[in-house]
Amino acid sequence: MRLNLNNANLKISAGLKKQFPADRIPQVAFSGRSNVGKSSLINALLNRKSLARVSGEPGKTITINFYDIDGKVYFVDLPGYGYARRTKAEQEKWSALTDGFFTSNQNIDSVKLVCQLIDSRTGPTKDDLSMIDYLDQTGMPFILVATKYDKLNATEKKKFREILSAEPLCAGRPCVCCSAKSGEGKDELWARIAESCGL
Ligand code: GTP
Ligand code: MG
């Protein structure tokens, strides 16, 4: 892969669908509940500490952040869901923006992969399963990514795998187990991204 990861920057923090980049370079989106570790994973993949903002106040910013990686791929940090303290108006903004991205995005063909994040400590939540079901219905290519894997011991890792296999919406799907802290799973995830985007 010939990507200069030092050449990565925030292209736009989009609060409206019309602000999504129109150029046709491949996009990889990161979806998941608030606090699951989307921004941390993006930083880890790019070997950066704080390019993607790791939230002090989770769930508050409802924007879709597009990171331009060396002009060859966009990483798309989607706003998290499942944040209990959101107002109704904030919740509606989340829905409109997310739907704008997945179902009425003129550039949807550029979205080559969605990484659906799941916290490995909890397994898929009800909201995660709704999101997976939604993604399934849109026909988007997506994989599961387990986050915070460093927090699990061997027994808990085994248990997590069992929970995934027992869940019909997850069983049989590729799942890359990652830690933004230790870097575990990064190479495997990059390989999947490179393959999907033809990098
Ligand atoms: P929102 O932007 O609010 O939707 O959250 P997010 O999904 O971007 O999560 P974020 O990356 O901000 O991480 C949330 C918290 O989890 C932070 O305190 C991170 O330091 C922590 N965290 C994220 N990934 C990992 C990981 O792999 N291991 C550990 N130990 N902590 C992590
Ligand atoms: Mg974030």
Please indicate whether residue 120, judged by its CB atom, sits closer than 6 Å to ligand 1.
no
pLDDT in tens, 44-90: 999 998 898 876 666 667 899 999 999 999 999 999 998 878 889 98
> Given the CA of residue 54, which atom of ligand 1 is nearest to it?
12
CA-nearest residue for atom 32, ligand 1, is 148
Structure tokens at 135: 């993604």
> Comparing 8-17, 52-61, 98-107, which segment has the lowest mean pLDDT?
52-61
**Rounded Cα–Cα distance for residues 31 and 145 (Å):** 10
DSSP 151: G
> Given the CA of residue 180, which atom of ligand 1 is nearest to it?
27
Please indicate whether residue 65, judged by its CB atom, sits closer than 6 Å to ligand 1.
no
Mean pLDDT computed over 109-124: 97
pLDDT in tens, 184-194: 999 999 999 99
Query: How much is the pLDDT for 84?
Result: 78
Ligand nearest to C-alpha 182 = 1
Please indicate whether residue 54, judged by its CB atom, sits closer than 6 Å to ligand 1.
yes
**Rounded Cα–Cα distance for residues 45 and 49 (Å):** 10
Q: Are 102 and 134 in contact (CB under 8 A)?
A: yes
> Given the CA of residue 151, which atom of ligand 1 is nearest to it?
30
Please indicate whether residue 40, judged by its CB atom, sits closer than 6 Å to ligand 1.
yes
pLDDT in tens, 137-177: 999 999 999 999 999 999 999 999 999 999 999 999 999 99
Test site for ligand 1: of 45, 53, 54, most ligand atoms within 8 A of the Cβ = 54
CA-nearest residue for atom 20, ligand 1, is 40
**By C-alpha distance, which of 159, 155, 131 is closest to 144?**
131
Whether the predicted pLDDT of 35 surpasses 80: yes
pLDDT in tens, 131-144: 999 999 999 999 99
**Rounded Cα–Cα distance for residues 99 and 169 (Å):** 20
Whether the predicted pLDDT of 199 surpasses 80: yes
Query: How much is the pLDDT for 102?
Result: 95
Query: How much is the pLDDT for 58?
Result: 62
**By C-alpha distance, which of 147, 175, 190 is closest to 47?**
190
Query: Would you list the DSSP string of 7-38?
Result: SEEEEEEESSGGGS--S---EEEEE-BTTSSH
Query: How much is the pLDDT for 14?
Result: 94
